[in-house]
């Protein structure tokens, strides 16, 4: 794993040795720390041990959506709230064993399943931390995004395409639904946008995607 500091209080953890990018974000909040997505298993989340070794604050683990490459490390955080959209929990229950069988050759270390323990429908705010989770369907029906108000960093999950060449993501939702999500992103006037697979991008990424959407 490669680690990169972004903003004043986040670390981006990036997988190495895959043909595609895969990133987790760790936010050090005031009262809680937040891990956004858990990757491919123990190999994805092991670096957290070192990064959090002096931390007393609880770690809140967030799943941006139910896809396998974002959730296989969930079970390593027994003491954390696992947070997701309500639909994400349902879809995980329905699909996680099947998708594991299909993609287990890509796992990094042991995989431990766990379902989200705290779910929401529209938004969840951690006011003292300035961290806002909100529903943002598009790539999938259960997508949520995370906005760090202190640094102006948006984590859009897989709502940003995997590469600059394919900046429009796979969309399971109607284009209009995804367009509304892009408008919600635009309203945040974010400084930096991190995502599951692409490199960190600036605010211009919204316009780039909208051009492809037309």
d(CA 170, CA 154): 19
Residue 85 sits in the site that holds Zn ion (CB under 5 A): no
Tell the smallest beta-carbon distance from residue 171 to Zn ion (Å). 11
Tell the smallest beta-carbon distance from residue 40 to Zn ion (Å). 13
Tell the smallest beta-carbon distance from residue 79 to Zn ion (Å). 26
- Piece in contact with Zn ion (CB under 5 A), picked from 75-83, 91-99, 100-108, 150-158: 150-158
- Piece in contact with Zn ion (CB under 5 A), picked from 14-22, 33-41, 83-91, 151-159: 151-159
φ/ψ region of 144 (left if φ > 0, alpha if ψ in -120 to 50, else beta) reads beta
Evaluated on CA atoms 104, 106, 109, 114, the torsion sign reads negative
Evaluated on CA atoms 208, 210, 136, 148, the torsion sign reads positive
Among 158, 178, 188, 197, the residue binding Zn ion under the rule CB under 5 A is 158
Place of tokens 């960093």: 153
How many residues lie near Zn ion (CB under 5 A)? 2
Among 9, 67, 85, 89, the residue binding Zn ion under the rule CB under 5 A is 67
CA 150 to mean position of chain CA atoms? 18
Task: For residue 122, report the phi and psi dihedrals to the nearest 5 degrees.
Answer: -115, -45
Alpha-carbon Rg for the chain in angstroms:
16
Tell the smallest beta-carbon distance from residue 6 to Zn ion (Å). 21
* 129 vs 158, beta carbon nearer Zn ion: 158
* 67 vs 108, beta carbon nearer Zn ion: 67
d(CA 79, CA 128): 21
* 128 vs 170, beta carbon nearer Zn ion: 170
Binding residues for Zn ion restricted to 31-60, rule: CB under 5 A = none
CA 202 to mean position of chain CA atoms? 17
* 60 vs 158, beta carbon nearer Zn ion: 158
* 9 vs 85, beta carbon nearer Zn ion: 85
Pairing of strands 82-85, 59-62: parallel
Q: What tokens were used for 199?
A: 């490199």
* 126 vs 144, beta carbon nearer Zn ion: 144
Judged by the rule CB under 5 A, the positions of this chain that interact with Zn ion are 67, 158
């Amino acid at each position: 794993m490669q680690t990169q500091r972004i903003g004043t209080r986040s670390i981006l953890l990036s997988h190495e040795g895959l043909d595609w990018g895969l990133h987790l974000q760790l936010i050090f909040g005031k009262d809680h720390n937040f891990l956004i997505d858990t990757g491919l298993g123990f190999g994805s989340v092991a670096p957290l041990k070192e990064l959090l070794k002096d931390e007393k604050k609880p770690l809140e683990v967030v799943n941006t959506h139910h896809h396998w490459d974002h959730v296989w490390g969930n079970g390593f955080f027994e003491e954390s709230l696992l947070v997701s959209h309500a639909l994400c929990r349902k879809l995980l229950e329905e699909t996680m064993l099947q998708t594991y069988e299909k993609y287990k050759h890509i796992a990094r270390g042991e995989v431990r399943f766990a379902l989200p323990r705290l779910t929401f429908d529209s938004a969840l705010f951690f006011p003292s931390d300035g961290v806002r989770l909100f529903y943002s369907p598009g790539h999938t029906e259960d997508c949520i995004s995370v906005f760090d108000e202190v640094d102006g960093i948006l984590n859009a999950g897989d709502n940003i395409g995997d590469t600059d060449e394919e900046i429009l993501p796979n969309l399971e939702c109607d284009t209009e639904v995804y367009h509304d999500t892009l408008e919600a992103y635009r309203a945040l006037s974010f400084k930096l946008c991190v995502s599951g697979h692409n490199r960190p991008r600036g605010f211009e990424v919204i316009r780039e995607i909208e051009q492809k959407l037309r």
